[in-house]
Structure 1
Amino acid sequence: MKRIYLYALILFLVGFYSNVKAQKDSSKTFSFVLGSWGMQTPKGKIVEQWKQNPDKTLSGKSYRINAKGDSLLTETLQIRKIGKDVFYCSTVAHQNEGKEVCFKLISTKDQIYIFENVAHDFPQRIVYQNQGKNEMLAWIEGELKGKSRKSEFRYKRQ
């Protein structure tokens, strides 16, 4: 029985350490998102582009490109520290009265980074998974009108 508690304590401390490490230097932790990522959909292409700013924050843009090649900016993004915590902040075109919505980093396990804002209507969680040099999986999830929802974005480096 003592071993079970010891293993549980070790797992907790490892998880806590990795979360603390991500909070200390988010620009290194999230460097895998830097660059341009694309995903083909039936309606066209979704592109997400990230860069590192001089102040160590990360800035991104997401836009859609239709079959004619016209692009439409859908949101601007940032990963930055606010106080001691790391946040993923998004400003979505024509939503939230143009105001930024931030999601707090709550987990950094197995190259999966979970940001959460339980007060937001949908999504409540935004997740990024580092799948190597040329692939990245992102998804949004939560409840909308009492039903669980999830949308995945399987990006390839461009």
Structure 2
Amino acid sequence: MDNLTKTRQNFSPFTILRKSLSTTFKLVCVLAGMMTLAGWSMVQSNDLKKAAWLIGTWANKSSRGIIYESWSSLNDQAYSGKSYTIRQQDTILFETIQLVMTKDGLDYIPTVQGMNGGMPVRFTSTTVTDTQLIFENPTHDFPQVIRYTLIHPDSLVAEISGITGGQQQKQTFPMKRMK
């Protein structure tokens, strides 16, 4: 085959169309992948933004003292929380909490003093709205469900529930935002 024939084959309408379609297909695949990742990132980030009402300090007065839960933003992927009780003049730290964006959604990761060998336990979000956060871990002994419900901008209800000893258990903590 001489050079003129090779040149004609490379510039034939069918060759140009085939190469053009191949390039277009690759470009569409790359763009679709980028849009999927961007969409995932926006949805994930949006879940954390929906939980922004949690930020601040909340209090529940009980016979055992005042229970506080305090939340702050670490960055655009995580919030940090801590739960503690003030009884008389003593502050007793009960747990530290991380609210973290993962590839699977929003995870609630508490580390409770004296429980689980001091290791964190992961709960995965099942509901994330502007007024409710629900996290579940069906394999944990208790609780299996952690729920926060915003009642008003200054009040929420925190609830832990699950089955322990074959019985359904639930503990509810109505909390007020501290000024």
The equivalent of 2:139 in structure 1 is: 119
Q: Does 1:53 align with 2:74?
A: yes
Q: How far 1:23 moved relative to its partner?
A: 3.7
Contact 2:50–2:130 under 8 Å retained in 1: no
Alignment CA distance shift 1:54-1:115 (3 Å): same
C-alpha distance in 2, partners of 1:23/1:120? 25
Instruction: Name the amino acid aligned to 1:52.
Output: S
Of 3, 12, 33, the residue aligned with 2:54 is 33
Identity percentage of aligned residues: 34
Q: How far 1:40 moved relative to its partner?
A: 0.3
Q: How far 1:110 moved relative to its partner?
A: 7.2
Alignment CA distance shift 1:44-1:122 (3 Å): same
C-alpha distance in 1, partners of 2:45/2:123? 17
Instruction: Spell out the pairing of 1:130-141 with structure 2 (5 A cutoff).
Output: 130-141=150-161
With CA pairs under 8 Å and 6+ residues apart, which has the higher RCO, 1 or 2? 1
Scaled by the length of structure 1, the TM-score of the pair is: 0.81
Cα RMSD of the aligned pairs, angstroms, is 1.8
Alignment CA distance shift 1:151-1:30 (3 Å): same
Segments of 5+ residues of structure 2 without an aligned counterpart are 1-41
Q: Does 1:105 align with 2:133?
A: no
C-alpha distance in 1, partners of 2:148/2:173? 9
C-alpha distance in 2, partners of 1:61/1:30? 16
Segments of 5+ residues of structure 1 without an aligned counterpart are 1-20
Scaled by the length of structure 2, the TM-score of the pair is: 0.72
Structure 1 residue ranges (4+ consecutive) displaced by more than 3 angstroms after TM superposition: 21-24
The equivalent of 1:65 in structure 2 is: 86
SS in 2 for 1:122: coil
Whichever structure has more helix as a proportion of its residues is 2
